[in-house]
Structure 1
């Protein structure tokens, strides 16, 4: 075998080849292990990001749910009733009464309606130095008066009060004219005064005013005294008018 034989094998070359192959194989294994490690690290990072994202999403969802729950609770919560409304003690004797029944009773004996009567009473009780608290009365009307079932605007409250006052003025003028005109005798006028006084006392008692017997007698005496003065004054006025007419003739 000659040096030019292509099939000849160089021991050193073969050894170098084997070493290079071994080195290459070792590098490949190292690269593979490093790649796998990096891949595992990346996967863990992704998992951590996903976990954090899920945690943040859950936290945000819980926060939103709590916020929505608080908003719903605030929306559904009933408005707080003012303290003076809670303590208002009038009309308690009419718990369970129906508006129509109360209104029918009043219309048979007075000029005013149940609405006008109740609101006039409230306007007197909720009067302050600066005026009447009509907004408070209207918003809390069902809480204040058992037979009233709807809330009222301040304008509606003012209208009812004005209507009550107007009717009282007209009723007063009608009554005094009847008393002064001579249409009634002294006995008839006393009987009339007794009847209307009984109705007025009943309404006061329904509102919660406790009238003792002494108070009732005193009130009746004062009213009778005033009416006697009215009757006497009107009689003198009529006599003077008749005298003047006779003098003219």
Structure 2
């Protein structure tokens, strides 16, 4: 009787073992099915690979993470003539310039990845429009400033104050972009700018005196 029981137990154990082994492929199949991409759902890894490597590594505006466009735009409009859109795209056009020109398409398609406060993509035409607008404003501002310096509207001390304020704003924007300016570089740049403006003022004064004679 005991031998029959032992034989029955052995048969049950073998049956359980075969059942377990037959169940394992199903579990592996389920796991592989979980890993497979769902139909109609984009694969995150493939989406990441669509972003160019130089765009992924671009870290110019990391200090602006979490910033809102309106706040950035308000700050710029209080201190300059350019908008946040023009500022960002002007910098990108400088950084993504090749021997054949500016990579307008790459900038526009990856604008939200490149600049934290820009939430929409741009067409190449829109990028070029912002770039042209920035250039036009810089040229007009430069002509206005230079005329103010040459027409004797400002005294030498007032002109130095204007240059100091302008330099501080420009340095702040560069620092926000991630440019590391040493104290020595800042002082050297300020001295060179002041020296040039003094020469401009002196030359314009001599020119006016010659015309009066």
Q: Is TM > 0.5 for Structure 1 vs Structure 2? A: yes
Partner of 1:152: 122
Q: Does 1:182 align with 2:152?
A: yes
- The reply on whether 1:78 has 2:41 as its aligned counterpart is no
1:229 aligned to 2:199?
yes
- Separation of aligned partners in 1, 2:200 and 2:154: 13
Structure (1 or 2) with the larger CA radius of gyration:
1
> Of 97, 112, 130, which residue of structure 2 is paired with 1:142?
112
Question: Which of residues 28, 53, 73 is equivalent to 1:103?
Answer: 73
Kindly report which structure 2 residues correspond to 1:1-249, keeping only aligned pairs within 5 A, or say none.
72-74=40-42, 78=47, 80-243=50-213
Deviations 1:26-78 (A, max 9, x none): xxxxxxxxxxxxxxxxxxxxxxxxxxxxxxxxxxxxxxxxxxx6762458863
Write the deviation string for residues 175-221 of structure 1: whole angstroms up to 9, x where unpaired: 00000000010011011110110000000001110111000000001
Q: TM-score, normalised by structure 1?
A: 0.68
Which 5+ residue runs of structure 2 have no aligned equivalent?
A: 1-36
Which residue of the partner structure matches residue 5 of structure 1? Answer: none
Tell me the C-alpha RMSD between the 2 structures: 1.9
* Structure 2 Cα separation of the partners of residues 237 and 71 of structure 1: 76
Following the alignment from structure 2 to structure 1, what is the Cα–Cα distance between the partners of residues 156 and 207? 16
Larger RCO (CA under 8 A, 6+ residues apart): 2
Q: What is the CA–CA distance in structure 1 between the aligned matches of 2:191 and 2:83, rounded to whole Å?
A: 28
The alpha carbon displacement at 1:159 in A equals 0.3
Alignment coverage as a number of residue pairs = 177
Task: Tell me the TM-score normalized by structure 2.
Answer: 0.79
